[in-house]
Structure 1
Amino acid sequence: MSESEYKPPFTMNDVIVDLVSRASYELGRASVMMQGDHSVHLRRQNRIRTVHSSLAIEHNTLTLGQVTAILDGKRVLGDPREIREVKNAFNAYDLLVDANPMSVKALLDTHRAMMNSLADEAGRFRTQGVGIFDGDRLVHMAPPAEFVAGQIGDLIAWYGESTFHPLVKSAVFHYEFEFIHPFQDGNGRMGRFWHTALLGQWNHVFYWLPVEELIQKNQQGYYDALGAADAQTDSSGFVEFMLGLFVNALEEAGSASDPCVGASATGDTGASKDAPGTLAEIGRSWPELADVLDNLAEPEHRVLAYLHERGPSRPAELSERLRIPLRSLQRINKHLVDLELIEAQGKSSGRRYSIKRHKAGEGS
């Protein structure tokens, strides 16, 4: 098949056009997030969230705190295969910025890093047929193995020639990649990784945007969108789904870059005037998670310090007293809960957050 003959089944529509417009607007705001001295820390934090979420989608049970510890070179108790998955994923993501997403060799090299010691054919296209099952039900039969190399080559060539917006054609690429299912194992994490690589080549913000986390939160919707595209022989619905996630991720990133989120409290906000000192006190009482505390962003430090001093607090109170937009506060609380630093008590309007395991003077 020649490059010009390969046309993935996709139809542009008004919903996609609108989502591209919204994503482009939010991208301008999110770009601020990656500027300044805080960007290195933020990128590291987002990379950890990305690796954790990507592997959680593949049923890896390690917590965000354990994933962080593995990156820091610490020993972690857990399934050896799951620990290997985490180490491999970090090795693969180390290749991300320099990887050429238009290179088949780069694709195979990344798969080798991602699946080293996990798959017999790591770094090679599959040599056998493969089907995707939901229980006992076959939901997708991938093309025969002998066609894989040619189809991936055609797909990459199409992407290079396509005049669609990168946000659109990268999502089409993602769907087509999963349809081809080019590897024996690791297709899901590689498809999402390559989607990031394609968009990162266009705009570096996408190298560090934790979209995997949103996919994990909307995992059934992700699989449903893939299945609907198969059934309809058109990936438009999947493109809409992915663009919606990008809009949300970019909107969240733009909110996180709001000056009022990271600014130190200057008025009577109720926050500690010595948040670093309070966090140091928590770290001394909670030595096993001291490094995790050090890797938190400044707004997360302030939330922990406030909860340490004031006790259980409602989101609205935290938002008002710490001058953190509620949307950003929700993201911060979710991250701190995942790290098992805080816990939620109650539901809906009565929900309060509190320090989970630390109490003043405990363990000192």
Structure 2
Amino acid sequence: MIKPSNYQPPYTITPAIVNLVAEIGEIIGRYTVLAEQNLTPRLRRENRIRTIQASLAIENNTLTLEQVTAVIDGKRVLGHPREIQEVRNAFATYEAMEDWDASVEGDLLAAHELLMRGLVDETGRYRSGGVGIFRGEQLVHMAPPADRVPKLMADLLDWLENTNEHPLVASCIFHYEFEFIHPFADGNGRMGRLWQTLILRNWKPLLAYLPVETVIRDRQEDYYRVLAVADSQADATPFVEFMLGALRDAVREAVSTDHVGDQVTDQVAALIRAIGGGELSSNDLMQALGLSHRPTFRNNYLNPAMEDEWIERTQPDSPRSPTQRYRLTGKGQRWLQHHADE
């Protein structure tokens, strides 16, 4: 056992961080009441599946929400065996989360072993070699040497156990420091997000079912950009502010869409059901809806669904791209879950 030091991660509590923590706390108060009334076992499970699909999508897993659900339900799915194994591992790991202590090294290693079983050789133990993080062919971060990892992780876990910071802030700092150390040969991104969820769950158990991963997936470029900014400044503050903003938006969305069923027109409801867990082009959608008149489709179906944020473009920066597709937002997915049996 490596003796930790009184390590202090580099960060500053800014006015933005203080305000975000206060805002999240206020929203969570409302979310807790609503969730206790409405978050049925089925919805808890569906939120967890969305979390898993989003976390793996960040790591380039191509399985859709429907395919991930089918894998977890034990059905046969046409897909790459590795991607199917990633889903099975992730579901088992998130289901085991309540038994773990976020500051215990043995639990961290056990989680990695479960999450990466059958995917990499080094599971449940720290990496034995050097590792760099690439975006395309560009090296964006060179992690510390492998022989330093055990001491760095001992220091970080000790800090987490003893810090007086608010759990919202501590979870973000841990997430950043974990990604900086990059302690494992593979799986560091999904482990960092899992462990932040565990820290938040230990503060408010309902947060185990809040799909923060979907917010990060939708802001993936910003997620990596802010990690790089924090690296260049040797300071976790930019990442903490970013993650708190993502958490706030996830909780706010959960609150604002708990009672939204009556606000959907019949046409938008049909569009939401047509998309389901997939990504469809406008032509595919018109065909699924039995429509041939494009202005009717745009004015009565597509535009209202976009304006009220039930759906989103897969390529928001290129609205007229010939490969443009549409998918449900978190709000749209929740509506579909609530009305699945209708």
Same fold (TM over 0.5): yes
Q: Deviations over 1:5-25 (max 9, x none)?
A: 301111111111111111111
Runs of at least 5 residues in structure 1 that lack an aligned partner in the other structure: 294-306, 320-325, 339-344, 355-364
* C-alpha distance in 2 between matches for 1:4 and 1:333: 49
| Runs of at least 4 residues off by over 6 Å | none
Matched, 1:65 2:61: no
- 2:331 alignment counterpart: none
* C-alpha distance in 2 between matches for 1:183 and 1:318: 42
| 1:254/1:37 CA distance change after superposition, 3 Å | closer
Q: Deviations over 1:193-219 (max 9, x none)?
A: 000001100111210110111111000
- 2:175 alignment counterpart: 174
**How big is the shift at 1:63?**
1.1
* C-alpha distance in 1 between matches for 2:100 and 2:164: 22
| 1:234/1:80 CA distance change after superposition, 3 Å | same
* C-alpha distance in 1 between matches for 2:66 and 2:25: 33
Q: What percent identity do the matched residue pairs reach?
A: 46
Secondary structure (helix, strand or coil) at the match of 1:68 reads: helix
| 1:77/1:111 CA distance change after superposition, 3 Å | same
- 2:114 alignment counterpart: 113
Residue identity opposite 1:128 in structure 2: G
Matches within 5 A, 1:188-267: 188-257=189-258, 259=259, 261-262=260-261
Instruction: Report if aligned partners of 1:314, 1:353 keep a CA contact under 8 Å in 2.
Output: no
**How big is the shift at 1:271?**
5.4
**How big is the shift at 1:171?**
0.4
**How big is the shift at 1:4?**
5.5
Secondary structure (helix, strand or coil) at the match of 2:202 reads: helix
Q: Deviations over 1:253-281 (max 9, x none)?
A: 11122x4x256x9xxx9759xx9xx9xxx
Instruction: Report if aligned partners of 1:32, 1:254 keep a CA contact under 8 Å in 2.
Output: no
* C-alpha distance in 1 between matches for 2:327 and 2:121: 46
**How big is the shift at 1:346?**
9.0
Instruction: Report if aligned partners of 1:33, 1:253 keep a CA contact under 8 Å in 2.
Output: no
Instruction: Report if aligned partners of 1:67, 1:86 keep a CA contact under 8 Å in 2.
Output: yes
- 1:357 alignment counterpart: none
Secondary structure (helix, strand or coil) at the match of 1:133 reads: strand
| 1:2/1:106 CA distance change after superposition, 3 Å | closer
* C-alpha distance in 2 between matches for 1:224 and 1:195: 19
Q: Deviations over 1:205-246 (max 9, x none)?
A: 210110111111000100011111110010100000000001
Matched, 1:25 2:26: yes
Secondary structure (helix, strand or coil) at the match of 1:97 reads: helix
**How big is the shift at 1:37?**
5.4
| 1:16/1:141 CA distance change after superposition, 3 Å | same
| 1:271/1:139 CA distance change after superposition, 3 Å | closer
Secondary structure (helix, strand or coil) at the match of 1:95 reads: helix
**How big is the shift at 1:158?**
0.4
- 1:42 alignment counterpart: 43
**How big is the shift at 1:136?**
3.1
| 1:346/1:58 CA distance change after superposition, 3 Å | closer
| 1:75/1:353 CA distance change after superposition, 3 Å | closer
Secondary structure (helix, strand or coil) at the match of 1:139 reads: strand
* C-alpha distance in 1 between matches for 2:327 and 2:192: 36
Runs of at least 5 residues in structure 2 that lack an aligned partner in the other structure: 278-288, 291-295, 329-342
* C-alpha distance in 2 between matches for 1:191 and 1:112: 14
Q: Deviations over 1:76-96 (max 9, x none)?
A: 001111111111111111111
Q: Deviations over 1:171-208 (max 9, x none)?
A: 01000000110100000000000000011001112101
Secondary structure (helix, strand or coil) at the match of 1:182 reads: coil
Root mean square deviation of aligned Cα: 3.2
- 1:342 alignment counterpart: none
**How big is the shift at 1:315?**
6.8
Q: Structure 1-normalised TM-score? A: 0.74
Instruction: Report if aligned partners of 2:127, 2:183 keep a CA contact under 8 Å in 1.
Output: yes
Larger mean CA deviation between 62-71 and 137-146 belongs to: 137-146
**How big is the shift at 1:36?**
2.8
Instruction: Report if aligned partners of 2:6, 2:159 keep a CA contact under 8 Å in 1.
Output: no
How many correspondences in the alignment? 300
Instruction: Report if aligned partners of 1:192, 1:212 keep a CA contact under 8 Å in 2.
Output: yes
| 1:185/1:318 CA distance change after superposition, 3 Å | closer
| 1:158/1:262 CA distance change after superposition, 3 Å | same
**How big is the shift at 1:353?**
10
| 1:223/1:318 CA distance change after superposition, 3 Å | closer
